[in-house]
Amino acid sequence: MEVQTAGDALVRPGQLLTDRSALSTVSRWTQAVAEADGFCVIHLSPGVDPCELTVDLRERGFRASPNHVLVGQPLFFGGPASRPFPADRIPLRHTRARSSATVALLDTGVAEHPWWKQSGWYGRLGREADDATEGEQAGHGTFIAGLLVRVAPGVELRVVRVLDGDGLGDEASVLRALHRMRGDPPAVVNLSFGCHSFDGKPPPLLADALGALTETVAVACAGNTASDRPF
């Protein structure tokens, strides 16, 4: 994936995210447009800064953002200060599993594992949901799935691969995944990744996409980089 730095943020170079209301306004800076799932990816002309154009568009009242690069979060940075040590397992109160409880897992995908090999949800997955096999974060999604299944054995997972084996994805991929959930929203959407935005504010299209899932709880690793800058 081609990545460009924008302060503390990472963005896809030459790409702007907006809705179709801004198309005529950005037409003079546009090389190509890909419109799907309720938003547009604008491929900008050479030399056009997506962050500067975003600021201009927002001042005019448009919903816009550079296409931020999202990074999987396998670690907790910054603490505790001492060496980590195992904690006692928290006892769980056994109750009847709710087969209707669904968690959308947006991550690197999921690999075959004895814990879910025979489950209905795993049998419905296509090859596009396979976990990455190469890269520093290959297996990240499988690990998260293991945590979910261990804590909630009756959970139904909906796996969407939005990160590659290096733990990198982009805002556009997440927007597509969230938009496609609207017809049959899950109870929970798990987002074990994030980014610093170029201006330290939530990307508006991403905020809109999450806000549209009114019956879904979003669980994300906010603050995972132990920085004063919002993550």
Domains and CATH numbers, the chain: 4-69 (3.30.70), 102-220 (3.40.50.200)
Q: What is the spatial distance between Cα 3 and Cα 13, in angstroms, rounded to a whole number?
A: 6
CA–chain centroid gap for 119, Å, is 25
Strands 217-220 and 193-194, by their bridges, are unpaired
Half-sphere exposure of 198 (CA within 13 A, CB side): 23
Specify the pLDDT at position 207.
95
Report the residue count for the chain.
Answer: 231
Q: Residue 119 to residues 6, 35, 37, 111, 184: CA-CA distances in angstroms?
A: 43, 36, 30, 13, 20
pTM, two decimal places = 0.87
* pLDDT, tens only, 8-50: 899 999 999 999 999 999 999 999 999 999 999 999 999 999 9
Specify the pLDDT at position 76.
47
Q: Is there a contact between 204 and 65 (Cβ–Cβ < 8 Å)?
A: yes
Q: If the chain, 231 residues long, is cut into consecutive pieces of 10 residues, what is the mean pLDDT of each piece? A: 87 97 96 96 97 97 97 61 71 64 95 93 93 86 93 92 93 97 96 93 95 95 77 78
Mind giving me the DSSP string for 6-67?
A: ETTEEEEEEEEEE-GGGHHHHGGGEEEEEEETTEEEEEEPTT--HHHHHHHHHHTT--EEEE
Strand partners, 40: 18, 35
Own/partner contacts of 85-93, CB < 8 Å, gap of 24 or more, are 92/151
Specify the pLDDT at position 222.
80
Q: Three-state SS for 146? A: helix
